[in-house]
Structure 1
Amino acid sequence: MKKKGYSIIIKPFIYVIDLFLISIASFYFLKQDMNNIVAFCIMWFSLSFFTSFYKIYRFTKITEVISLLSKQIFIFITVVFAFLFLKNSDVKPVNGVYFFLLLYILMVLFRVAFFFLLRKYRIVTGSNYKKVVIIGINNSTKKLEHFFKTHPEFGYKFLGFFSDEKSIAKRGSVSESINFILKNEIEEIYCSVKELSNKQIKEFIDFCDINMKSLKFIPDNKELFTKNLYLNYLDITPILSLRKIPLEDSVNSLVKRLFDIIFSSFIIVFVLSWLIPILGLIIVLESKGPIFFRQDRPGIKEEGFGCYKFRSMTINNNSEISASRNDARVTRVGKFIRRTSVDELPQFFNVLFGSMSVVGPRPHLWRQNEMYGTKVPKYMVRHYVKPGVTGLAQVRGYRGEIETKEDIINRTKYDIFYIENWSILLDINIIIQTVVNVFKGEDKAY
């Protein structure tokens, strides 16, 4: 069984330490009050997104970490002193120099110490590793194997080669790798492009999308370069990744989670607190049954969760069948709350407790996953992130009943675009558009 990692807390932890050092240095050397210290922390946090300061990975070199730190601090110091100048602050120049030097030295020492302690911890405990295999045996892949085996501090566990070439060093053929990857819960697959046909490359891409595996390529001059790829290096070996998911970054994930908690809490306190008793009474007076309808649906990594709605139908045994236009199961109050999307509001409890997000791909039925999982290209990529109360596909008109193949294809395209281009501003834009659509009315809201 894969050991539980701690990666998700590393970047938030570094953030906290950095903001603590900024606060202490600002208080003792710049003699700033709490309001200005908070302003400095906000400046640091905001600048980090523009400089990509916290976009570091297990394979990032310490020299690159120090380079990013130097860039971030230089810009930060410039902004801080511009801020103090505009406020006519009486900070002495010598104190400003002490502030800069202390902050830089402390942050460099912390980064270097943390960098090496983390790697040492991986070696000693074997924690936080990723299981990997390599497809293809040649000089490039053997260099990569050497890197994995001689650098355990990076946290990769190499489980073997797969190739159609004759070799005693391999675990099996390319086709045999599929079962091995699934059986051993391999997380990352490294493919030598020059040993695979274009058909095999496409098959691996589809396989990894369906099974939510991370696929990397060791490049040559094949047509793969026409795709939108991301280049990194493991030691001196260039590695191409097909997909970059912003929410895999723990800082981005934390920002989105904080937004979800704040937004869902607001809806629960100021809307659902009075709406549930009023609407609940209307629902039970019109038809027998509970106020809420709970349905098990696939969430992130295709893990099931209980998705809640206001009950809009009479009790029936066809809950795995999506509502259609003029559906006889829908009650009179159900027609209204479905048309206005009020029936979805209880899902903010799902958001608050972490099984959903305010914005994301809408959670489908299990039956729909079975229907489209292997037939619609990239469909399973939807499960890389939490499902949402609303989503980009929904505000673009692809909500409700799936009537044609184009409906599910376009919905999937919008969902993938959202996953690969997430930002908090995109979330806010989708929320605003959702509210606008509620008042405008939507043809497929039934």
Structure 2
Amino acid sequence: MVVDYFTINLVFFIGRLYFFEFNENDFLQNFKAQFFLLNLSWFIVTVITKPYVNLKVKESTLHFNALLKSYLLLFVFTAIYLSLIFSVKINYQNIIKYFLIVGFLMTITRLILFLYRKKNRVKLGRSLYVYNTVLIGENKLSNNLLSDKNLRRLLGIRGTYGCGPEKTVHKYLGDINQLFNDLDHLKISSIIFCDDNINAELYKKIVEVAEHKMIRIYMVPDFKYANLGPNYFEVVHEIPFLKLIKEPLSNPKKQLLKRVFDIAFSSLVIIFLLSWLIPLVALIIWMESNESVFFIQKRSGYKNQPFNCIKFRSMTSNKQADVQIAKKNDSRVTKFGLLMRKTSIDELPQFINVFLGDMSIVGPRPHMISQTDMYSKITKKYMTRHIVKPGITGWAQVMGSRGEIFTHKDMEKRIEKDIWYIQNWSFFLDMKIIFLTLYNIFKGDEQAY
């Protein structure tokens, strides 16, 4: 994709707009308009024809077919806006030259790519495909998945665990006991239940272990235990599955939208707010307690990977910082720290975490490592909250589940709200949470202390 855009624009720039005949004074203005329309046209065309989808495994003939469609549509788009939008004299001979050069370079690029792919197929396969999906049981669908090399690569299927003493026909990995051993020692990201021979109690035990380890659960559409709890229909590489938990953010386009917003928003906060606020807060903290401006603490992040969460220092240094959360009238909190906690100013440096990719603006709040260790053992679905990035603010926080945990029920309510957010994510839900966060800050939150 990058090479295609580079080719389109390089030839266009070197050609010095051979499409038109105009004087030198008009060159810059027409170039900008043409540059924008040409790139916009190619973007729209590729969204329609999808020439970059599954490029690593798609047959070369199918890819060249998609490229030809893209190329012809770009020509049509260009002809339309040159004829209808620009009132200039068009040099059709130069237009044809431009498209012949671009088409030739795109074709050569792909020929080189596919020849390289063919020569290094095995080597590339080992580096590009991560086989961390496993099947449990055997049926027609599992046999089809394992016998189709392309599907096996796309889904990253390692093999099958048998529900009984008999070995499966394809890619046998072991029995259920071996599965539990591998769940502890191997990196498994997804489980697909295929066979109805497994009993209900064993199914529930596997699901419980998998959820604790943040492993995604899928079932074939006719799996007999699908009615034991909520499940959601999802098509993965054109294959229908039932999924135990709905995840809008498993869609790469939605992930990109959320990440682009995070980068843009955090950049504005860092440039226009933190750039002058950090020196000011640092001075006040130094004058009050003679300590550093930042309090950096290890917290549980995406996939339970620890990261350094950055906050303005609101407490004096103490040995309980990593095991005891703030309580009402906490003696560790400084006077200026109390003001920052009331107004959530102490959380603002976490926009640096957002920019670095450790956090998102909206998501489940990151907990201390000690909290994760404790509550993951006693709270069901606790670890599910780690399948998305933690956030500066979240649905649980704006719905009243903020601050001190008094009972185990308080944590359960917070987890329920976090999982609801994961299952119902949308860009507009994030906007709503940001608005409610700002509203609560100006209104005042009794649980902010």
Mapped to 1, the partners of 2:225 and 2:247 lie a distance apart of 23
Shift of 1:353: 2.9
Could you say which residue in structure 1 is the equivalent of 2:274? 272
Q: 1:201 to 1:43 in 2, by over 3 A?
A: farther
Which is worse superposed, 357-366 or 394-403? 394-403
Contact 1:233-1:239 within 8 A present in 2 as well:
no
Check if 1:167 corresponds to 2:182.
no
Q: What is the DSSP-based 3-state SS (H/G/I as helix, E as strand, rest coil) of the residue aligned with 1:185? A: coil
Contact 1:230-1:242 within 8 A present in 2 as well:
no
Question: Aligned pairs, how many?
Answer: 429
Which structure is richer in relative contact order (CA contacts within 8 A, separation 6 or more)? 1
Q: Aligned residues: percent identity? A: 35
Which residue type is aligned with residue 123 of structure 1?
A: V
Shift of 1:66: 7.4
Which is worse superposed, 284-293 or 249-258? 249-258
Match of 1:192 among 191, 194, 204: 194
Could you say which residue in structure 1 is the equivalent of 2:400? 397
Contact 1:122-1:152 within 8 A present in 2 as well:
no
Could you say which residue in structure 2 is the equivalent of 1:314? 316
Which residue type is aligned with residue 142 of structure 2?
A: T
Mapped to 1, the partners of 2:431 and 2:388 lie a distance apart of 17
Mapped to 2, the partners of 1:97 and 1:382 lie a distance apart of 55
Q: 1:55 to 1:332 in 2, by over 3 A?
A: farther
Mapped to 1, the partners of 2:245 and 2:235 lie a distance apart of 11
Check if 1:230 corresponds to 2:234.
yes
Q: What is the DSSP-based 3-state SS (H/G/I as helix, E as strand, rest coil) of the residue aligned with 1:130? A: coil
Mapped to 2, the partners of 1:48 and 1:416 lie a distance apart of 35
Q: What is the DSSP-based 3-state SS (H/G/I as helix, E as strand, rest coil) of the residue aligned with 2:318? A: coil
Check if 1:146 corresponds to 2:150.
no
Contact 2:194-2:223 within 8 A present in 1 as well:
no
Mapped to 2, the partners of 1:445 and 1:40 lie a distance apart of 52
Could you say which residue in structure 2 is the equivalent of 1:387? 390
Residue by residue over 1:376-416, the C-alpha shift from the partner in whole angstroms, topping out at 9 and shown as x without a partner, is: 44332222232222233323333222345554344334434
Mapped to 2, the partners of 1:80 and 1:88 lie a distance apart of 11
Match of 1:301 among 288, 300, 303: 303
Mapped to 2, the partners of 1:218 and 1:192 lie a distance apart of 6
Q: 1:253 to 1:231 in 2, by over 3 A?
A: closer
Q: 1:120 to 1:34 in 2, by over 3 A?
A: farther
Q: 1:353 to 1:396 in 2, by over 3 A?
A: same
Shift of 1:343: 0.2
| TM-score normalised over the length of structure 1 | 0.77
Mapped to 1, the partners of 2:318 and 2:164 lie a distance apart of 54
Mapped to 1, the partners of 2:252 and 2:372 lie a distance apart of 28
Shift of 1:50: 8.9
Contact 1:193-1:201 within 8 A present in 2 as well:
no
Which residue type is aligned with residue 270 of structure 2?
A: I
Shift of 1:260: 3.3
Q: 1:308 to 1:111 in 2, by over 3 A?
A: same
Residue by residue over 1:61-80, the C-alpha shift from the partner in whole angstroms, topping out at 9 and shown as x without a partner, is: 77887787788788877877
Mapped to 2, the partners of 1:402 and 1:427 lie a distance apart of 24
Contact 1:310-1:343 within 8 A present in 2 as well:
yes
Shift of 1:251: 5.6
Mapped to 1, the partners of 2:365 and 2:211 lie a distance apart of 18
Check if 1:361 corresponds to 2:361.
no
Q: 1:360 to 1:49 in 2, by over 3 A?
A: farther
Specify every segment of 5 or more residues in structure 2 that has no aligned partner in the other structure, as ranges: 21-29
Shift of 1:337: 0.5
Shift of 1:317: 2.0
Mapped to 1, the partners of 2:426 and 2:284 lie a distance apart of 39
Could you say which residue in structure 2 is the equivalent of 1:124? 123
Mapped to 2, the partners of 1:99 and 1:410 lie a distance apart of 62
Residue by residue over 1:200-259, the C-alpha shift from the partner in whole angstroms, topping out at 9 and shown as x without a partner, is: 44443333332122433333253527621212358xx75544456555555654554444
Residue by residue over 1:273-295, the C-alpha shift from the partner in whole angstroms, topping out at 9 and shown as x without a partner, is: 22222222222333343322111
From the CA coordinates, give the structure whose radius of gyration is larger: 2
Could you say which residue in structure 2 is the equivalent of 1:329? 332
Mapped to 2, the partners of 1:299 and 1:240 lie a distance apart of 27
Could you say which residue in structure 2 is the equivalent of 1:204? 206
Q: What is the DSSP-based 3-state SS (H/G/I as helix, E as strand, rest coil) of the residue aligned with 2:361? A: strand
Match of 2:346 among 343, 346, 364: 343
Mapped to 1, the partners of 2:252 and 2:417 lie a distance apart of 23
Mapped to 2, the partners of 1:421 and 1:89 lie a distance apart of 49
| TM-score normalised over the length of structure 2 | 0.76
Could you say which residue in structure 2 is the equivalent of 1:435? 438
Contact 1:133-1:190 within 8 A present in 2 as well:
yes
Q: What is the DSSP-based 3-state SS (H/G/I as helix, E as strand, rest coil) of the residue aligned with 1:389? A: strand
Could you say which residue in structure 2 is the equivalent of 1:23? 9
Q: 1:345 to 1:168 in 2, by over 3 A?
A: closer
Q: What is the DSSP-based 3-state SS (H/G/I as helix, E as strand, rest coil) of the residue aligned with 1:361? A: coil
